Chains A and B, each alone.
Chain A
Amino acid sequence: MLEHLELFFRSIFVDNMVFAVFLGMCSYLAVSKKVSTAVGLGAAVIFVLGVTVPLNWLLDKYLLQDGALVWLGPEYADYDLSFLSFILFIATIATMVQLVEIVVEKFSPSLYNSLGIFLPLIAVNCAILGGSLFMQTREIPNIGLALNYGISSGIGWFLAILAIAAIREKIRYSNVPAPLRGLGITFIITGLMGIGFQSFGGMLTGDNEPPEDEQNTTVETQEEKEIKKEIDDKEKAVSYNDAINK
């Protein structure tokens, strides 16, 4: 339970997809002009990450890793197919995205209408492939954690795009120097937010300590909630000031 909790918060805040490793920046910049579309894309990313990371974990475990084919018989124990991971992962992702699109269209037309245009975009979103590749390099031990990792990094991405979309909606009323308008200022804001997220770095130290400090973790999560609230408040204050200045 504790490791789940730790992975959850680590992937959302410490290793945030956007602010720590810059994944999914293309769609993050392109689709963050309005909060409503950002929410749609963010939800789709959570969903697809939650599906593809565990699937690719299975592929990695039973097909790609060094010696993974041993279940076929002892003579296959020497095979190492890990050089195929890129092509298999991206194939899984492209297929899953297509499948998810069909299923969602059939069973929930309203969700399809809100996610519809974003789903095909997601196949080439680096956050999705990145999630699977990080899952592989970090050697996540079991499928439960893989599912957790997929969903929580999706949530991290969702939070990031939601925050930047909200800021961009507000910043439209501010007096940004003309050459910085649009893309430039978005980059710089993202950089500043990234620096803010760096402060979560110390949140989850004590990696390999025995589970007895479960209490500690809850305290930490509370702290982190407070920090987040503080940041939110600051952001609110900033946009409020902007509005006043205007």
Chain B
Amino acid sequence: MALLSKKDANLIKDPLADNNPITIQVLGICSALAITAELKASVVMAISVLFVLGVGNVVISLIRNMIPSKIRIIVQLVVVASLVIIVDQVLKAFAYELSKTLSVFVGLIITNCIIMGRFEAFALGNGPWRSFLDGIGNALGYGVILVIVGFFRELLGSGTLFGIKVLGDPVTKTGLYSIGYENNGFMIIPPAALIVVGIIIWVQRSRNRALIEEA
């Protein structure tokens, strides 16, 4: 971390834990939950958001003095939408199957509140380098939760990770399945994602009691 001053390093570190966009700021949940049934989709989604937020934050920060504040929302939307179109086209070209799985959720990165939130809260008031770090930090914080949720849902729901059968084969009864283990179909259905995130929040807030909300 010799490259970064301590203040800059915090821009990346904070969103990973104590100021996590999903569990603390409650931003960007919309797209976070629907695509986490498989680890692969979660990782791709996390990378897409990393790209959009990192680049978008720099762009907004560079033009921040030129945007009339009245139309800034539209300007921000145009910047995000253009970046998302790039992501969408790249996915369609190089990972068509995956882009089918993600379906509309790639497009929904546009309205992912993390992105607008960071533009508004950070990029409009800070220089490009710091905005870039902030974007990367928040996207990583978002990605971490996505990957954790995806990991548990795929492992417990289908017994696979990245499509590899890590727990043995359920049909031929090898590995764990030979002693009577069953996949938990419940983890595959969409609502399970909410419950997993709820549990992550629970664990995180039990470890750091300063984060507990006043009822």
A contact residues vs B (CB 8 Å cutoff):
19-26, 29-30, 83-87, 89-91, 94, 120, 123-126, 128-130, 133-134, 137, 172, 176-188, 190-195, 197-198
How far is B31's CA from A209's CA once the two chains are assembled, in angstroms? 34
Check B198 against A126 for contact (C-beta < 8 Å). no
Bound form: Cα–Cα A133–B30 in Å: 14
Interface of B, helix, strand, loop or mixed by DSSP: helix
**A23 nearest CB neighbor, chain B only:** B30
Q: Does B89 contact A (CB under 8 A)?
A: yes
- Which residue of B190, B199, B213 is within 8 Å of A21 (Cβ)? B190
The chain A residue with its CB closest to the CB of B92 is: A83
Give the nearest-CB partner of B197 in chain A.
Answer: A187
Distance to closest chain B CB from A144 (angstroms): 22
B159 to chain A, nearest CB (A): 21
- Expressed in whole angstroms, the minimum distance between the Cβ of A206 and any Cβ of chain B is 22
| Closest chain A residue to B114, Cβ basis | A26
A59 to B23, CA, bound (A): 37
Q: Which residues of A contact B202 (CB under 8 A)?
A: 177, 179-180, 184
Does residue B29 face the partner (Cβ distance < 8 Å to A)?
Answer: yes
Taken together as a complex, chains A and B put the C-alpha atoms of A64 and B150 apart, in Å, by 34
Which residues in A have their C-beta under 8 angstroms from that of B213?
181-183
What residues of chain A lie closer than 8 Å to B29, measured between beta carbons?
22, 25-26, 29
Tell whether, in the assembled complex, residue A187 and residue B195 are in contact, meaning their CB atoms are under 8 Å apart: yes
Instruction: Across the interface, name the chain A residue whose C-beta is closest to B186.
Output: A195
Is the CB–CB distance between A191 and B30 below 8 Å? Answer: no
* Distance of A30 Cα from B30 Cα, bound (Å): 12
20 contacts across the A-B interface (CB closer than 8 A): A22-B33, A22-B190, A22-B193, A83-B85, A84-B85, A90-B81, A90-B110, A120-B73, A126-B31, A130-B111, A178-B205, A178-B212, A179-B209, A180-B202, A181-B212, A181-B215, A187-B194, A187-B197, A188-B195, A191-B193
**B191, CB-defined interface residue at 8 Å:** yes
Chief secondary structure at chain A's binding surface = helix
A123 and B107 form a contact (CB under 8 A): no
Q: Which residues of A contact B192 (CB under 8 A)?
A: 191
Known A-B contacts A24-B30, A29-B29; A194 and B194 likewise in contact (beta carbons under 8 Å): yes
Q: How far is the CB of B170 from chain A (nearest CB, A)?
A: 22
**B58 shortest CB reach to chain A, Å:** 20
Alpha-carbon distance A45/B136, docked complex (angstroms): 32
B212 touches A87 (CB 8 A): no
Chain A residue numbers with a CB within 8 Å of B28 are 26
Q: Which of B177-215 contact A (CB under 8 A)?
A: 189-195, 197-199, 201-206, 209, 212-213, 215
Q: Is B195 within 8 A of A179, CB to CB?
A: no
Q: Which residues of A contact B112 (CB under 8 A)?
A: 126
Q: Which residues in A have their C-beta under 8 angstroms from that of B206?
A: 179
